[in-house]
Amino acid sequence: MTIAHRMRNYMERASWIRKMFEEGARLKSLHGAENVFDFSLGNPNVPPPPSVKEKLQAIIDKPDGSIHSYMPNAGLPATRERLAEYLSREHGVPLTADHVVMTCGAAGALNIVLKALLDPGDEVVVPAPFFVEYGFYAENHGGVLRTVPTQSDFKLDLDALEAAIGLKTKVVLINSPNNPTGQIYDADSLKALGEILRRKSRLAGRAIFLVSDEPYRKIVYTDDPVPSVFQAYENSLVVTSFSKDLSLPGERIGYAVLHPEARDGQAVMGAMVLANRILGFVNAPALMQWILPDLLEESVDVGIYRAKRDRLYGALKEAGYDLIEPPGAFYLFPRSPVADDVAFVRILQEENILAVPGSGFGGPGHFRLAYCVDDRTIEGALPGFARALEKARK
Ligand code: PLP
């Protein structure tokens, strides 16, 4: 075998995604892309705010070659300082540049955090459904993913989490607003989780870290801001990116930030910075770091996503689908009308609708729709959604 056994195994595990892409491509070539309703990808379709282009143009025109240079592995000091000021307000704790590492997206941040914290066999406890890449990321660094069910509305099940967190747990990884469910975890449940983690850390004789993955923090439809884990538990980290809130997923820019009172904070920061280097990221993309300080208060027009959510949620509910109204992110996660979610996704494909089976996210019996798509796609798909439900009920 030329390639590593583990990679062959991963490629098999990931093959259902490829098959879905292939089926989508086949349908598009057969019927024309405009007649296929693709809800399978979380690729933001709302443009970045105009200020992104303005700032980029201004920095490119600067007669200073050093904008493209290598830099400290943690990122540009001035960018980290500005970010720390902003994050101190957002999370309500005093942060400095020394608590922030710039990364290649949220994915890069998750990988440096897990590299810094995990020893072989350490468990990463994750509420399900969850972002499908977490399993790969945990295994990249010798960790073992342990999934824990959530409640029927996808809120945290604290009893189930408490039962799952044991002597092998090193990290509890949560994602709010959530992909694929759109759910947000409230401040009380985060506080209760913090208490559980304090107790369990004492029992284990080591700190269990709470890692909060938050790329959708600004994509919310509630009046209240998303509660911060930093208000709930000191041994915590936030990882995130500008992929969704500034619509810059291809630019690979994000960061990890550590609670200022985390145990062995300096060592954790040092390990993350070294991980950025030895994982081959070296540093996060330079141009993005130059423009970020002036963009921290900005975001895409969330009203556009809200209108899409309202339209698709309302129409599916009216058609008879069983689903929650998600308070954040840009996904719906309806219950599949038949137990086998893969079978229902095939029925949707017969209607030229592309969705992702929930079992791929550890949420069997559901399917995910990414509504970061044209309004035309939503409107065009509605009759097909209604017909698919009728077919499934026969
Ligand atoms: N975490 C979650 C929950 C996501 O949905 C995504 C991307 O879709 C990521 C992390 C990765 O984000 P990035 O593209 O910034 O690496």
pTM of this structure:
0.97
Tell me which of 174, 179, 281 to substitute to probe ligand 1's pocket, judged by most ligand atoms within 8 Å of the beta carbon: 179
The encoded tokens of residue 183 equal: 């759910």
Examine the domain organization and report whether 63 and 23 are in the same domain.
Answer: no
pLDDT given at position 365? 98
172 pLDDT more than 90: yes
From the CA of 329, give the closest atom in ligand 1. 5
| Distance from residue 106's CA to the centre of ligand 1 (Å) | 5
Last residue of a domain, one of 294, 321, 337: 294
| Distance from residue 242's CA to the centre of ligand 1 (Å) | 10
Instruction: Assess whether the previous peptide bond of 129 is cis (omega < 30° from 0).
Output: yes
Separation of alpha carbons 307 and 1, rounded Å: 51
Examine the domain organization and report whether 134 and 248 are in the same domain.
Answer: yes
DSSP 335: B
For the segment 19-36, what is each residue's pLDDT rounded down to a tens digit? 777 888 899 999 998 999
Examine the domain organization and report whether 135 and 241 are in the same domain.
Answer: yes
Examine the domain organization and report whether 233 and 354 are in the same domain.
Answer: no
Q: Ligand 1: residues within 6 Å at CB? A: 42, 105-107, 131, 175, 179, 213, 215, 241, 243, 249, 254
Tell me which of 102, 133, 242, 245 to substitute to probe ligand 1's pocket, judged by most ligand atoms within 8 Å of the beta carbon: 133
Which ipTM score applies to this complex? 0.99
pLDDT given at position 62? 81
| Distance from residue 116's CA to the centre of ligand 1 (Å) | 19
- State the residue range of the domain holding 317: 5-48+300-393
Separation of alpha carbons 249 and 188, rounded Å: 31
Decide: helix, strand or coil at residue 284: coil
For the segment 122-148, what is each residue's pLDDT rounded down to a tens digit? 999 999 999 999 999 999 999 999 999
Decide: helix, strand or coil at residue 172: strand
Q: What is the mean pLDDT of the chain?
A: 96
364 pLDDT more than 90: yes
| Distance from residue 107's CA to the centre of ligand 1 (Å) | 6
Closest Cα to residue 56, out of 282, 251, 195, 348?
A: 251
| Distance from residue 111's CA to the centre of ligand 1 (Å) | 12
Examine the domain organization and report whether 216 and 289 are in the same domain.
Answer: yes
Separation of alpha carbons 148 and 126, rounded Å: 6
Q: Are 360 and 132 in contact (CB under 8 A)?
A: yes
Examine the domain organization and report whether 208 and 236 are in the same domain.
Answer: yes
| Distance from residue 63's CA to the centre of ligand 1 (Å) | 34
| Distance from residue 123's CA to the centre of ligand 1 (Å) | 21
Mean pLDDT across the stretch 257-270?
98
Domain count, the chain: 2
Q: Are 122 and 97 in contact (CB under 8 A)?
A: no
Decide: helix, strand or coil at residue 271: helix
pLDDT given at position 23? 86
Tell me which of 111, 136, 175, 241 to substitute to probe ligand 1's pocket, judged by most ligand atoms within 8 Å of the beta carbon: 241
**Dihedral sign, CA of 368, 373, 375, 381?**
negative
259 pLDDT more than 80: yes
Last residue of a domain, one of 294, 327, 342: 294
For the segment 196-228, what is each residue's pLDDT rounded down to a tens digit? 999 999 999 999 999 999 999 999 999 999 999
Tell me which of 112, 131, 361, 371 to substitute to probe ligand 1's pocket, judged by most ligand atoms within 8 Å of the beta carbon: 131
Q: Residue 270 is part of a domain; what is its CATH number?
A: 3.40.640.10
